[in-house]
Amino acid sequence: MPGSRRLTPPRWRGCSNRSAARPRYGSKTMKIGFIGLGNMGAPMAANLVKAGHEVTGYDPKAAMPAGVTAAPSAQAAVAGADVVFTMLPNGQALRNVATDIIPAMAKGAVLCDCSTADVANTRTVAEDAEAAGLMALDAPVSGGTVGATNGTLTFMVGGPAAAFDKVKPLFGVMGQKAVHCGGAGAGQAAKMCNNMILGATMIVTCEAFALGDKLGLDRQKLFDVVSTSSGNSWSMSTYCPVPGVGPKTPADNDYLPGFASELMLKDLRLAQQAAIATDTDTSIGTLAAELYETFVEEEDGFGLDFSAMMLRIEGRGRD
C-alpha cells in the first residue's frame, strides 16, 4: 500500500564490520610514515590513527602510540608511504634522517618535516627531496603538547602548493589551522618570527606581574584588566605565567613543561641566526635570547616550562 513501504537503510548501518575509524574531512585513507614519536610526534601520530589512516612509525627511543605500527628502521617506516612526517630535535637531525629515508621513499610522496629547524638545512632537504622525485614541506607547529594531544595545532607551511594540498587533510586531523606561507623554508621563517614574539611577550608579561606584586596589585585583577585591554597577548590570556589565574597552564602544575625553556632558547637562537644573516635589527629578540640563555644555562630553567621565567623575575631586584 502507498505509504506503507519501508525504506531499506544503507548497508553499513548497523553492520558489525563497519570501520569505527573513518578518515575525517572527506580525505581518503593514506599510508603514512612517522619518524620521531616523542612528546609531540606521538600524539600527532595517534590522531592520524584515530582518523582512520595507516601509520607506521620509527623512533629509536620512544614507545609507539596505540595503533601505530612499529618499523625496525626509518627506511622501513617510509616504504610505500604517501606522506612521511618527521618531528626531530634540530636541523642537523633532519639532514641526517632525510639522507637515510629519501632513497627509500616512493616517487611522488611528500616529506613533511614538522620540526623546528634552521632555514638553510630545511631548504637543503627540500632540494634533495625534489632531486629524488619527491615533494617536501617544512611545517613547524605552534600549540605545544596540549595542542598536539587535542588536535589543535597551527601549522606554518613552506613548500609547493601541490604538496600542501595533498597533506592539508592531514593537517586538519592534527590541527585547527594550516597556513601555506610560501616556498621552501617559509614555514620555518614564520615559526621563528612567531616564537621571537612569544619569547619576548612572555618575559614582559612576567615582568608586569612582578611589578604588580610589588605595587600591591592583586594578580587576578591585573589579569582581568590586561586580558581585555590593549596590553593583552597569548602569553597573558591563554598561557598565563602565574598560578591560579586565567585558564589552567603549566604555572598551575609546578611549571612542568608544555613548551620547555630550552626549546624556547633554541627557537630564539634560530631567530638571531637569521637576523644576523639578513642584517636585521632585532634588539628585543636579542635581549630575549640572552635572558633565556641565562635562565636555562646558568640558573634553574632547564626542564621547566618557558613561562617559569616568572620564577626568575619575581625573585630578583633591579640590577
Nearest one of 91, 268, 104 to 185, comparing CA atoms: 91
Does 191 qualify as catalytic in the annotation?
yes
Phi-psi region of 21 (alpha: psi -120 to 50; beta: other; left: phi over 0): beta
Residue 291 has which C-alpha cell?
Answer: 635572558
Nearest one of 75, 82, 28 to 55, comparing CA atoms: 82
Residue 308 has which C-alpha cell?
Answer: 617559569
Q: Do 174 and 46 touch, CB atoms closer than 8 A? A: no
Phi, psi of 21 (to 5 degrees): -110, 110
- Which of 191, 214, 221, 266 is flagged as catalytic? 191
Helix residue ranges per DSSP H, the chain: 41-50, 74-78, 91-101, 119-131, 144-150, 161-174, 186-214, 219-226, 234-237, 261-278, 283-297, 309-314
Rounded Cα gap, residues 134 and 258, in angstroms? 34
Q: Under DSSP, is residue 182 helix (H, G, I), strand (E, B) or coil?
A: strand
Bridge partners, residue 31, by sequence: 54
b or e along 296-312 (b: 16 or more beta carbons within 10 Å of the residue's beta carbon)?
Answer: beeeebeebbbbbbbbb
Rounded Cα gap, residues 150 and 258, in angstroms? 13
Task: State the catalytic residues.
Answer: 191
